[in-house]
Amino acid sequence: MAPVVSSLDPNKGPIAGGTAVTINGSGFTGVTAVKFGTVSASFTVISTSQIIATSPAGSGTVNVTVVATSGTSNGFAYAYVAIPVLSSLAPGRGPTSGGNTVIVTGTNLSAATSVQFNTSPAVITGNSATQVTVTAPAAPAAPAVVTVTTAGGASNPLPYFYIPAPTISLLSPDKGPLSAGNTVTITGSNLTLTSTVRFGATAATGVTVDSDSQVIANAPSGSGSVTVTVTTPGGTSTPGPGTAYYTYLVAPAVSSLNPSSGPALGGTTVTLTGSGLTFADEVRFGSVPVPFTAVSDTQIIAVAPGGAPGTVTVVVRTPAGTSSGIPYQYVT
């Protein structure tokens, strides 16, 4: 009775050949040849029901047959698969924590069995002849090579870069007006690839990367105290202890001076009453900065300097801006 082939394992392999194929069936006695299409393959008869053959080079789909002294078996399909070729990764970089989606584009990618980032396997979430969608594994901050393996073999490698997460250590200034446009210098690490800076949930404008440790951005309008974050391909920063918060301040206002006049020699203690005065960084009588103490958000005590007889304007400056002036009179 002629031999019978019931299955092949595997039933596909690379066009270069060299795949060990287990042929299962019956009547494998007196075997003289194993053929992939018309091409003879090297083989070893394991038993009357099993042969191991090495696929020769080939293309397309061919029938595998076993030739014995008792006759030739039925044919069983074996498919030659072209080697996968990669052309791009999108994105080509990501966080060391992994978990981001990467689309691998190329040709001959159907039925991918694995996608490796160096030696770490990625989770395959989608697959077609031209694309494999994966979830990147975690890895240290360094370049990695990505390869795709199918029945046709392993692809060419493409580089993928693991980027460390950005950090923020300092904001300067860390306070500003409710209105947009205040220029803030952000100091930290791993900032080179910054794509977005956010004050709370609102994106900043005018983002400029000065170096890996410094980014400049224009604060958006806002209120209260908000967390400032930086986003790069390495992820989004997390706030450090007290260093990544930005406080929006109302503009300072001065409503009265007590007294509102004093001797030209100066030295008068003057109480300034108003609002938004807590973070005052300068009090001026005319053009002269004076020593002062911010007692509360509504009161500052300052010492008037000497001045020529006449009237000068008193102003208070905070990170939110400079108050409108209120007159102080020097008398002889």
The reply to whether 319 and 271 lie within a common domain is yes
Query: What would the mean pLDDT of 206-215 be, rounded to a whole number?
Result: 97
Query: What would the mean pLDDT of 167-183 be, rounded to a whole number?
Result: 95
Is pLDDT at 280 greater than 80 in this prediction? yes
Nearest Cα residue to 322 out of 277, 272, 264: 277
Query: What would the mean pLDDT of 23-28 be, rounded to a whole number?
Result: 97
Domain stop point among 249, 277, 309: 249
Q: Model confidence over 62-109: pLDDT tens digits?
A: 999 999 999 999 999 999 999 999 999 999 999 999 999 999 999 999
Domain stop point among 55, 81, 107: 81
Give the model's confidence band at 238: pLDDT under 50 very low, under 70 low, under 90 confident, else very high.
Answer: confident
pLDDT for residue 241: 61
Give 24's DSSP letter: E
pLDDT for residue 105: 98
Domain stop point among 126, 145, 163: 163
Task: Report d(CA 145, CA 193) in Å as an integer.
Answer: 21
Query: What would the mean pLDDT of 217-231 be, rounded to a whole number?
Result: 96
Query: What would the mean pLDDT of 127-151 be, rounded to a whole number?
Result: 97
The reply to whether 63 and 112 lie within a common domain is no
Domain that holds residue 306: 253-330
Task: Report d(CA 109, CA 132) in Å as an integer.
Answer: 7
pLDDT for residue 240: 63
Could you tell me which residues are beta bridge partners of residue 323?
none
Query: What would the mean pLDDT of 144-158 be, rounded to a whole number?
Result: 97
Rounded percentage of the chain residues whose pLDDT exceeds 70: 99
Query: What would the mean pLDDT of 7-19 be, rounded to a whole number?
Result: 95
Is pLDDT at 147 greater than 90 in this prediction? yes
Give 164's DSSP letter: P
CATH number at residue 213: 2.60.40.10
Give 309's DSSP letter: S
What is the β-pairing status of strands 261-263 and 326-331?
A: parallel
pLDDT for residue 57: 96
The reply to whether 92 and 156 lie within a common domain is yes
Q: Model confidence over 309-332: pLDDT tens digits?
A: 999 999 999 999 999 999 999 998
Give 329's DSSP letter: E
Is pLDDT at 296 greater than 70 in this prediction? yes
Polymer length of the chain: 332
331 contacts 309 by C-beta, under 8 angstroms: yes
What is the β-pairing status of strands 61-68 and 183-189?
A: unpaired
The reply to whether 258 and 240 lie within a common domain is no
Is pLDDT at 196 greater than 80 in this prediction? yes
Contacts of 172 (CB under 8 A, 6+ apart): 184, 185, 187
In the block, tokens 């996968």 appear at 84
The reply to whether 50 and 91 lie within a common domain is no
End-to-end CA distance of the chain: 133
280 contacts 315 by C-beta, under 8 angstroms: no
The reply to whether 218 and 190 lie within a common domain is yes
Nearest Cα residue to 66 out of 96, 24, 99, 106: 24
The structure tokens listed for 21 are 């194929």
The reply to whether 262 and 240 lie within a common domain is no
Is pLDDT at 262 greater than 60 in this prediction? yes
Nearest Cα residue to 85 out of 14, 137, 136, 17: 14
pLDDT for residue 246: 95
- Number of domains the chain is built from: 4
Nearest Cα residue to 19 out of 61, 76, 79, 108: 79
321 contacts 329 by C-beta, under 8 angstroms: no
